[in-house]
Every structure is written in C-alpha cells, then in structure tokens.
Amino acid sequence: MILSANTKEAARSLYATKQRSLLALVGIIIGIGSVIAMISIGTIVKSEALKQFQELGTDFLTIRKISSSTGRSSIRLADAVGLPAAVAAISTAAPWIQSFGEFVYAGKQVGSGGMLGVTAPFVALYKLPLASGRFLSDLDFRRSYCVIGADTAQAMRSVGAKQIVGEPIKLAGRLYTIVGVLQQTSSWGMRPFNANQAVFVPITTAQSAFDGPEIESIIVRVRSDAPHTAVTAEIDRYFSRKVKGLEINVESAKNLIEQMQKQQQLFALLLGAVGSISLIVGGVGVMNVMLVSVAERRQEIGIRRALGARRGDIQGQFLIESLILSLLGGVFGIALGFGTSYGICLFSEWTFLMSPTAVVLGVGVASGVGILFGFWPAYQAARLDPIAALRAG
C-alpha cells in the first residue's frame, strides 16, 4: 500500500536526519507540554476543590471585619455568639482569633504555627475529627486547655511522649494542658488554617493570652434553604445595630468557588498563551525542517514522479513525514506536561491525576500542527516540475 510505504519511508527519512528532526521538535514539545499541563492541572484543581467541598459543605458564610472600619469598632464576642439567636437563618456561629507562636514540649520545640482561639461550635463547623480526648467546650472559659493537631502530636511522640492527652505544652511561652488531639485532615482545604499544624484554645483564654486579641472572622452555618444574599443583608443589619462604624464583609462558599475558578482560569490562560505561542514556534520549526527536507530531496521527488507517483502521492509522503515528526513531539510533550503537573501537585500537596482528555487533546493538537505546518512544504514538493526536479542533485 502507498500509505504504509510512505509511512515507512517518512520514518526512515526522519531517522536519517535525526539531529535536525529532534531540534525541530523542541517547540512542539514545549507547546504540547504546556497544553497538557494546563488541562491536567485544571482537572486536578477541579477534583481538589470538589474534595474540599465534599469535606466541608457549601452552606457556610465567613464574616470578616473590613480594616477600613472607623475608630476602635470591632466584632465583640457576645455579638458573635448571639448571631444564631438574632438571625433565624443561621444555625451556628463560630468566632475565632488567630495568633502565631512556637509549641514547646518537654523543653523541645514540637511545632510552630497558628494558635486559634475558638468556641465549641468551631470543631463542628470545620468538621475537625477528634483522634483522642475531647474538644473545647464553653465550660473551659478562660482555662489554659488546648487541642492540638495531628502533626504536633506526632512531633511530641517523636520526642518521647507516651500519652498526649493530659500532657502540658508551652504555646508562645504560656503553659497549657492538652485535652484533645485531632485526626489527620487534608492540610488546608477550604479552611483558612492548616488543622494538622495548629493548636486550639478557648477563645476567652485567647483574648487575654494572645497578642492581637481581636475577633477578625466568624464562620456561620446557614440553614440550607436560606438564600445567601438575604442572610448577608440580615447579618449586615445586625452588626450595624450592635457596633457603630463597624463594616463587615460576608463571603460565601460560592464566592470562594468563584474565586478559585477565576484563579484557575487565569492560570489556564497563562499556560494556554505559552502553549499557543510555543506551538506556533514549534510549527514553524517543523515547516522549516520540512522545507529543507523537500529541497534536499528534489531529485528523489523527480525520480518518484518519473516512476509514476502522482502529485497526491508526493504530498502524502511529506505530510506523513511532518505528521510523524509532530506526533513524536506530541508524545514527548505529553510526558513533559504530565511531569510538570506532577511536580506542581507535589509542591501544592494535591493528588496527581492523569487526565485522558489531555492525552487525546495533546495527540490531536500535535497532529493538527503537523498537518497545518506540513501542508505548505508538501504542497511545494507536489508541485515541483518533474524534469527540473530530476536534474537537481
């Protein structure tokens, strides 16, 4: 068959000029690699987001004080705790305070990071599972009790702690007693903190112990049928009645999803731009190599024409050659793209996924580039005058 003979011939010709062929592929490899990385990271981020929402649900709002609020106005603990009683759509409210410090056990540092002053509903809202002991309760009012994350507990065990619950631990210079240990969770997820490396103390204790004892944020769970915009308006009214000059911002999980999507779109746009430019550059590289190949093989074209090759046969031969060249680039590019996204996943602590769409798209784009940029050289080869081509050489 002409097709299989052409394919064999094309492969042989590319192999004969392998150095040139490989150099021409660099652009294609980078182009396809970017496209694959773009698609694959998009898929991974989507699945990560889904996982996080499955873990936390979407029926919560985050209330934050806007820093432009006038004077010394701030969210008061009593107002925050009073939210569910005042706003019917809110089922739970958990204000929290954050500070940072080092965690020291038995004279050795066992961690450092976020110290969170929280109320009892916090654990339920953020779905933090307990490994042992208990979580904080309202009865721990101003007591020096704390709950620690899994990483910190692990660090304590590695410096010799047999039992964790009941042990003393020094947090930012103050001594606390551990009452509970959390299970390992996904590092950040939708939470604004890393639960595995954080410690939790009663918010009343935090108000006197932390450096910045102001409530910055409240997380509230909304009854699922309540429209978020109506609830947001009601929260606004509640706080403007309670504290003069306090301005707050209410963020819903939906907003967060939108933000995440925007971010991902930007990322995709960037990779897409890099990908398209490299593909054009790569395509021109392929075209260049093919033009050289046509010029070098003018006599061969003449001989083939004399032996009965039609223009279409010659065009097919060179198109297949550029197609093989581009597909080769596509294969390397797919490997590069998956390698890149694997690296990004390692860095971002995401679960790596192989997206079959990306493979199909990569192969498709590579073939497209091969045919598009191979067409002109192949057309030129086919239009060569057989007599002039025979004399060349």
Partner 1 sequence: MSKIMPMLRLENIRKTYPLGPIAVEVLRGISLEVNRGDLVSIMGPSGCGKSTLMNIIGLLDRPSSGSYILEEREVSGMNDDELSTTRNASIGFVFQSFYLLPRLTAAENVGIPLVYRGLGAQDVQHSAREMLDKVGIGERANHKPNQLSGGQQQRVAIARALVGRPGVILADEPTGALDPSIGQEIMDIFLRLNAEEGTTVIIITHDPAIALQCPRQTRLRDGELYPETPQEVVLSA
Interface residues with partner 1 (CB under 8 A)?
Answer: 1-2, 4-5, 12-13, 16, 299-300, 302-313, 386-387, 390
Tokens representing residue 58 in the block = 């979407």
Asked if residues 179 and 136 have their Cβ atoms less than 8 Å apart, the reply is yes
Tell the smallest beta-carbon distance from residue 313 to partner 1 (Å).
Answer: 6
Tell the smallest beta-carbon distance from residue 10 to partner 1 (Å).
Answer: 11
What's the CA gap between 368 and 148, in Å, rounded? 55
Tell the smallest beta-carbon distance from residue 263 to partner 1 (Å).
Answer: 53
User: Which single residue is written with the structure tokens 């929260």?
Assistant: 235
Residue placing its CB nearer to partner 1 in the complex, 301 or 336: 301
Residue placing its CB nearer to partner 1 in the complex, 1 or 139: 1
Cα 249 off chain centre by: 26
Residue placing its CB nearer to partner 1 in the complex, 198 or 294: 294
Tell the smallest beta-carbon distance from residue 53 to partner 1 (Å).
Answer: 58
**Strands 199-202 and 174-182, sheet pairing:** unpaired
Residue placing its CB nearer to partner 1 in the complex, 85 or 307: 307
Tell the smallest beta-carbon distance from residue 379 to partner 1 (Å).
Answer: 14
Residue placing its CB nearer to partner 1 in the complex, 134 or 310: 310
Residue placing its CB nearer to partner 1 in the complex, 5 or 354: 5
What's the CA gap between 230 and 87, in Å, rounded? 11
User: Which single residue is written with the structure tokens 């590019």?
Assistant: 333
What's the CA gap between 380 and 318, in Å, rounded? 10
What's the CA gap between 335 and 264, in Å, rounded? 22
Residues ≥6 apart with Cβ < 8 Å to 56: 126, 127, 189, 190, 191, 253
Name the residue among 194, 175, 177, 198 with its Cα closest to residue 186. 194
